[in-house]
Structure 1
Amino acid sequence: MLLTSIDPFVQELERQFNRVAQQALSNSGGGALMAMDGLRRQDDVLLRFDLPGIDPDSIEVTVDHGVLTVGARREEDLGDQERVFVRERPMGTFTRRVFLPEHLDTDQIDAGYANGVLTVRIPVVEKARPRKVEIRVGDESGETRAIRA
């Protein structure tokens, strides 16, 4: 039996952040990176994805077999007399996958987009939420009583 005091969700997020950072550093040619922050709260998890300049209609959030996938597209229409001479903002399709642990309720996910940030909220299943454990004390007669919960 393995006991740990580390939250497995946080471990998984750290693993994925490290993987993305390594990919970003090793790709000198670049590629679109969808930056993400993850927050664990008592009753849910919040994932925030930076998607500036994205048409909200192009954003798609799906979950399948414990994998959350966020996809979005940024396009730019140029006029006949326009041509790009500098391109630092990535265009095209962006995709990010996050592996969700079993203690999250993937049936109750909701998402919202405001000010260039997509926020995905995933509730923690009831049995995985922190709770207080009652401490019982016994006396000499074998009787027990709760001292605090």
Structure 2
Amino acid sequence: MMRFDPFREIEELTQRMDRAFGNGMTTQGARLAPPVDVHEDEQGLELTLDLPGVQPDDIQIEAENQTLTVQAKRDYTRGEGRTAHRVERAYGTFIRTFSVPAKYDLTKVEATFDHGTLTLRVPRSEAAQKRTVQVRTGGQLNAPKTVEAGQNSTAETQGAESTQGA
């Protein structure tokens, strides 16, 4: 579903180490990767990201060239006359980038944000939808077969070869 990106894995490992040892927690330029669940069904992909404390206006979603990027910002504000004794929550820029296969239509992404959870739905493209194809053999119409878009059945392949040779 998603391609392995070693640089993203290294960035996430660095962020985990920083969180574990308390480095860069309140740095304004910190880039954090929010946790995500990715599910797939016949309609398409569903990505669910945790963005606690983020305002909907501070979320940017970009879909371009089979890449889906989610960026959000949560600022740290310390009130006047207050001393911070412990700051453990993550602040700064949250960013996550996903490589989306071509069988999904990034022009129809839907996003909902509810109680700190962002849900993105990416539908399958029309060309990738399953459809029923009638197969003829010996002049008779056989039972319809459902084929996945982009796959050739044996009958289709043989038919194409026989028409090319004629």
* TM-score relative to the length of structure 2: 0.68
How many Å separate the matches in 2 of 1:83 and 1:131?
63
The alignment of Structure 1 onto Structure 2 pairs a total of residues equal to 133
Match for residue 114 of structure 2? Answer: 114
State percent identity of aligned pairs: 27
Q: For each residue in 1:37-94, what CA deviation from the matched residue of structure 2 results, as whole angstroms up to 9, or x when unmatched?
A: 1111112211111101111110111112222111111113222121211111110111
Q: TM-score, normalised by structure 1?
A: 0.75
Matched, 1:146 2:135: no
The corresponding residue for 2:64 is 64
Q: Distance in 2 between matches of 1:116 and 1:93?
A: 15
**d(CA) in 1 for partners of 2:41, 2:63:** 21
| Cα distance, 1:145 vs structure 2 | 2.9
Cα distance in structure 1, aligned partners of 2:50 and 2:134: 43
Local SS of the residue matching 1:127: helix
Mark the runs of 5 or more structure 2 residues left unpaired by the alignment: 20-30, 146-166
Cα gap change, 1:29 to 1:147, in 2 (>3 Å): same
- Counterpart Cα distance in 2 of 1:23 and 1:78: 28
Instruction: Report the 3-state secondary structure (helix = DSSP H, G, I; strand = E; otherwise coil) of the residue aligned with 2:96.
Output: strand
Q: Supply the AA of the counterpart residue of 1:70.
A: V
Q: How does 1:6-17 map to 2 (within 5 A)?
A: 10=1, 12=2, 15=4
Aligned to 1:86: 86
Task: Give the aligned partner of residue 44 of structure 1.
Answer: 44
Partner residue in 2 for 1:4:
none
